[in-house]
Chains A and B, each alone.
Chain A
Amino acid sequence: MFLHDIGIIPGGQKTDAVGKDTLSITNLSRRGFVVGSSLFVVGVALAGCSSYEEPKIDPDAIDLPEAGPSPLTEVKGGDATPALWIAIEEDGTVKITCHRSEMGQQVWTSMAQIVADELEADWSKVQIVQAEGHERYGDQNTDGSRSVRYNFHRLRLAGAAMRQMLTEAAAVYWKMQPSECSASQGLVSNSQNSDTLSYGNLAKLAARLQVPGEADITVKDPKDWRYINKEIPSLTIPQITRGEGTFGIDVDKPGMVYAVIARPPQLFGKTGAVRDADTLAVPGVLQTVKLPDAKPPALFQALGGIAVVAEDTWAAIQGRNALEVDWIDGPNAGYDSEAFAEQMQQTAKRSGTVRRKRGNVASGLSSAANRIEAEYYAPHLSQSPMEPPAATAQWDGDKLECWACVQDPQATRQTLSDLLKIDKENITVNATWLGGAFGRKSKPDFVVEAALIAKEVGKPVKVTWTREDEVRHGYYHSVSAQRLEAGMDENGRCTSYLHRTVFPPIASTFVPGMDVPTDGEMGLGATDVPFAMPNLQVESGNAKGHLRIGWLRSVSNIYHAFAVQSFAAEMAHAAGRDQKEYLLELIGDARTIDPGDEGATYPNYDASIEEYPIETARLTNVVNMAADMAKWGRDLPSGHGLGIAVHRSFLSYIATVIEVAVGADGTLTIPGVWLALDAGTVINPRHARAQMEGGTIYGLSNALFGEITAKDGAVVQDNFPSWRVLRMGEAPRAFEVEIVKSNSAPAGVGEPATPPAAPALTNAIFNATGHRIRKLPIIGASGSKLSLPAKETA
């Protein structure tokens, strides 16, 4: 989720194409992709040759015209200049820069697959360099499931341009035509003899050649892909299995001290009297630091409170436990999520603001042969990555350097500049590995905290959020109340559909008093509904935010898909029809849909609707695939049920079928999940399947157990298990994924498996038991096992 998608925070993260760094990079583009200078000779044994000794190229001995600037600085997606992305060392090591944050989606591997394929690099020589936060890389906000979509084109160009320059360098050396030379697996060969030149040997000469323009670059035919769309193993996992690699919480700097923070329980609560004598008496505690009180809007400010600084994390935690603070109530002191739910449900009963309109829903409903209506509720959620937020900051005079598990190092840098009033040029932000993120780590408030404390302490400071901090002081997935109504004709066919959705918008975190759901959020599963009935209306109702509202894996798609796909099954039931057949009827004939034609302002995930239309044929296809995989319609044991849901999000199409087994005592287990994905071109099918499993389980965890509530303005939950998440024994026993083979433009895979999970589950529970769940979570935190209320089970 991009902030500018929802119409707030203008500017901040846009690339500034003109500037000192851009110029230095332009210069780099001609010279920069060679590292190291020691002379050596490469010995390569070739098939058919007893021995071939590759001559060492002296690039300075070859006359070449001075090359001009890179013509690839502004291609689709940004700068594709090879030197920005690729450095080849003399030993043949290929260093590929990854400007997106690695958080388990295997973006290191996927970005490298794209570059290395077009480059014809030897995969065993590939290494990753994690980029710092800088505009030169273009968008770095690793959010919105779009790393591949945004970068596929330009990274292919960068790799192919480099391959062509290496090939041309060999041609120059051999005094042949480039067309007589070809590159493969890190070596250039020619059609006249059996000589070869290695990339490491050619790199310096190639660096002096003109970077080709886009029209002169030939990317590979997909049939020749060597790494793209292949199950290339992850580049990070070997280190992970040895406990290596640096997450944000693992950063260590000489002289570093450790901090945890006691924050006001309420958003915009203030720090009153502080008694820290007992804190300072804890062995290892060094000092306390008062942070400035936060003021609306929340933005990415630090939340205020008192930091406890110590010689290790444990001493800091003990010091915080001993701290006494008189917190002063703020404007959210009265927030009670239970009472607020009631208010939102009342709002959902009243007419709202029309956000998309087809035909006349009011008359369609009043003339319908049969009408149904249903109300749905979904609570606040916490992202809860296994690595809680953690950041290290170090000042050197007026220069600030930070190391942190951030999804968007550029926004982090901008935020630090804005809030600490320092020139961005004096700030360096290094993204570490992220131990999960799910949207939490695109909010850099924790880096601001580290910078503020480090400034006060005069040493490098690592701020660690404990799990309690993460659960109680987050940027929460929004709470929502929705109402749907449908009118059907005498054959059970849906003729009118009304969807009204009420939720505090993410914008409330950024604009004081903002209570109107934004077009971006409405376009996540509400205004983009793909149904074909003649009368359709989507409305929104206003709601104020009282916690920091943020984005969480798949964002508003979670509650919208839950309501819409549950209601589709409710319509099927009312019509006496099969869920899957009725769903296909609702979707209707093969066509493309532009919600803009029906009055919606539809961002389409920041993509053009022409390039990425809403295609109903792709929805229908994945529905049929998932149903076939699950053997939809088969005889099931007593207490079992299959449920289906389909949803397009992040430009991908996913249908999920879930089987549940409900015991006589209400015990609920999930014997199987079958999922069909159409994400267009998929870079790594194995890793895409992992995201399908992960995204689905994330959705099931939320639906079964997830609930953040607030009382007197403060979040009630504090750690596992009061904030409960799904565990191994509760995971589905079987999970099958099929991916549509496609060369269509690449779409997202990190988030779109989450939305259909909850409605597929509740639709399955309905088919197993006759019990319709309209309020989440299904089980909640306190159940000792997966169980439904016994009286509800059939």
Chain B
Amino acid sequence: MATTLNINGKDETIDAAPGTPLLWVLRDHLKMTGTKFGCGVAQCGACTVHVDGAPTRSCITAHDSLDGAKVTTIEGVQGRAADAIREVWVKNDVPQCGYCQSGQIMAATALLAENSSPSDEDIDAAMSGNICRCATYMSIRRAIKEAASEV
């Protein structure tokens, strides 16, 4: 049963079983592997994408529930917040292994788009759903504040 999804501004026809999470549609069907699998139960944030601009865990979001929605992934996210986040991420070498960073960048971009000068508490609230085992938390915190000053 084919579904049409708008991903990064482009309509994609998907032929996946009903209920298949967006994560696996992106990774296995569309070969867009920037969005990562970490836990499958919305506990780690590695799979974070934007659905109509809102950070969303793609591992528990059925792809066929997204009719008419605009999905943005790490491969396609752009704009002032995303540009600023990417810039400081590179400038400060924020990631270590990088595996969780697609999700971190999507979460941080959504935070910055909503809140141009987040406090520590705002950052904790927005980012505590994203686990990083390399523990780049301090770097992420510093980088979000630096990006905020540039947006």
Are B97 and A104 closer than 8 Å at their CB atoms?
yes
Chain B residues within 8 Å of A430, by CB: none
Chain B residues within 8 Å of A720, by CB: 39, 41, 43-44, 131
Which among A241, A249, A468 is the interface contact of B36 at CB below 8 angstroms?
A249
Are A241 and B137 closer than 8 Å at their CB atoms?
no
Chain B residues within 8 Å of A435, by CB: 36, 97-100
8 Å CB interface, A712-768 against B: 719-721, 725-733, 735
Are A241 and B38 closer than 8 Å at their CB atoms?
no
8 Å CB interface, B100-139 against A: 100-102, 105, 120, 123-125, 127-139
Chain A residues within 8 Å of B39, by CB: 467, 719-720
With A258-B28, A467-B38 known to touch, is A241 a contact of B136 (CB < 8 Å)? Answer: no
With A243-B35, A243-B102, A719-B39 known to touch, is A728 a contact of B97 (CB < 8 Å)? Answer: no
The residue on A at minimum CB distance from B123 is: A728
Q: How far is it, in angstroms, between the C-alpha of A729 and the C-alpha of B120 when the chains are bound? A: 9
A698 within 8 A of B: yes
8 Å CB interface, B23-73 against A: 24, 27-29, 31-41, 43-44, 46, 73
A551 within 8 A of B: no
A400 within 8 A of B: no
A791 within 8 A of B: no
B150 within 8 A of A: no
Are A436 and B97 closer than 8 Å at their CB atoms?
yes
Is the contact region of chain B dominated by helix, strand, or loop, or is it mixed?
loop
Interface size class of B (residues with CB under 8 A): 35 or more
8 Å CB interface, A681-695 against B: 686-687, 690, 693-694
Chain B residues within 8 Å of A733, by CB: 120
Q: How far is it, in angstroms, between the C-alpha of A311 and the C-alpha of B102 when the chains are bound? A: 25
Instruction: For residue A172, give the distance in angstroms from its CB to the closest CB of chain B.
Output: 41
B16 within 8 A of A: yes
Chain A residues within 8 Å of B129, by CB: 727
Are B133 and A314 closer than 8 Å at their CB atoms?
no
Instruction: For residue A449, give the distance in angstroms from its CB to the closest CB of chain B.
Output: 17
Chain A residues within 8 Å of B151, by CB: none
Q: How far is it, in angstroms, between the C-alpha of A387 and the C-alpha of B46 when the chains are bound? A: 9
With A252-B31, A698-B133 known to touch, is A466 a contact of B40 (CB < 8 Å)? Answer: yes
Chain A residues within 8 Å of B85, by CB: 241
Instruction: For residue A191, give the distance in angstroms from its CB to the closest CB of chain B.
Output: 39
Interface size class of A (residues with CB under 8 A): 35 or more
Q: How far is it, in angstroms, between the C-alpha of A530 and the C-alpha of B35 when the chains are bound? A: 47
Q: How far is it, in angstroms, between the C-alpha of A104 and the C-alpha of B98 when the chains are bound? A: 7
The residue among A258, A386, A466, A467 with the most chain B CB atoms within 10 A of its own CB is A386
The residue among B38, B133, B137 with the most chain A CB atoms within 10 A of its own CB is B133
The residue among B86, B97, B101 with the most chain A CB atoms within 10 A of its own CB is B97
Q: How far is it, in angstroms, between the C-alpha of A233 and the C-alpha of B94 when the chains are bound? A: 10
Are A387 and B135 closer than 8 Å at their CB atoms?
no
Instruction: For residue A61, give the distance in angstroms from its CB to the closest CB of chain B.
Output: 45
B12 within 8 A of A: no
Q: How far is it, in angstroms, between the C-alpha of A103 and the C-alpha of B136 when the chains are bound? A: 14
Are A241 and B35 closer than 8 Å at their CB atoms?
no
The residue among B38, B40, B44, B105 with the most chain A CB atoms within 10 A of its own CB is B38
Which among B28, B95, B137 is the interface contact of A314 at CB below 8 angstroms?
B28
Q: How far is it, in angstroms, between the C-alpha of A245 and the C-alpha of B36 when the chains are bound? A: 12
Chain A residues within 8 Å of B120, by CB: 733
Chain A residues within 8 Å of B31, by CB: 252
The residue on A at minimum CB distance from B126 is: A728
Q: How far is it, in angstroms, between the C-alpha of A528 and the C-alpha of B40 when the chains are bound? A: 43
A313 within 8 A of B: yes
Are A237 and B40 closer than 8 Å at their CB atoms?
no
Are A690 and B96 closer than 8 Å at their CB atoms?
yes
B20 within 8 A of A: yes
Chain B residues within 8 Å of A247, by CB: 33, 36, 99
With A233-B90, A434-B97, A466-B40 known to touch, is A731 a contact of B46 (CB < 8 Å)? Answer: no
Chain A residues within 8 Å of B98, by CB: 104, 236-237, 240, 245, 433, 435
Q: How far is it, in angstroms, between the C-alpha of A438 and the C-alpha of B135 when the chains are bound? A: 12
8 Å CB interface, A429-479 against B: 433-438, 464, 466-468
Which among A103, A434, A728 is the interface contact of B137 at CB below 8 angstroms?
A728
Q: How far is it, in angstroms, between the C-alpha of A238 and the C-alpha of B75 when the chains are bound? A: 12
Instruction: For residue B75, give the distance in angstroms from its CB to the closest CB of chain A.
Output: 5
Are B29 and A312 closer than 8 Å at their CB atoms?
yes
Are B139 and A731 closer than 8 Å at their CB atoms?
no
Chain B residues within 8 Å of A726, by CB: 135, 137
B148 within 8 A of A: no
Chain B residues within 8 Å of A243, by CB: 32-35, 73-75, 102
A697 within 8 A of B: yes
Q: How far is it, in angstroms, between the C-alpha of A164 and the C-alpha of B86 when the chains are bound? A: 39
Q: How far is it, in angstroms, between the C-alpha of A243 and the C-alpha of B37 when the chains are bound? A: 13
Chain B residues within 8 Å of A98, by CB: none
Chain A residues within 8 Å of B134, by CB: 104, 386, 436, 690, 694
Are B36 and A386 closer than 8 Å at their CB atoms?
yes
Q: Which residues of A contact B (CB under 8 A)?
A: 102-106, 233-234, 236-238, 240-247, 249-250, 252, 258, 283-284, 311-315, 317-318, 384-388, 433-438, 464, 466-468, 686-687, 690, 693-694, 696-698, 701, 719-721, 725-733, 735
A-B contacts, 25 listed (Cβ < 8 Å): A104-B96, A237-B94, A241-B86, A241-B90, A241-B105, A243-B33, A243-B34, A243-B35, A243-B73, A314-B21, A315-B20, A317-B40, A386-B46, A386-B132, A386-B133, A388-B37, A435-B36, A436-B96, A693-B139, A697-B135, A697-B137, A721-B43, A725-B133, A729-B128, A731-B137
The 10 closest A-B pairs by CB, nearest first: A243-B34, A435-B99, A104-B97, A697-B135, A104-B96, A243-B74, A240-B98, A729-B124, A250-B33, A731-B137
Additional 7 contacts, C-beta under 8 A, given A312-B24, A315-B17, A720-B131: A233-B90, A240-B89, A243-B33, A386-B134, A435-B100, A720-B41, A728-B141
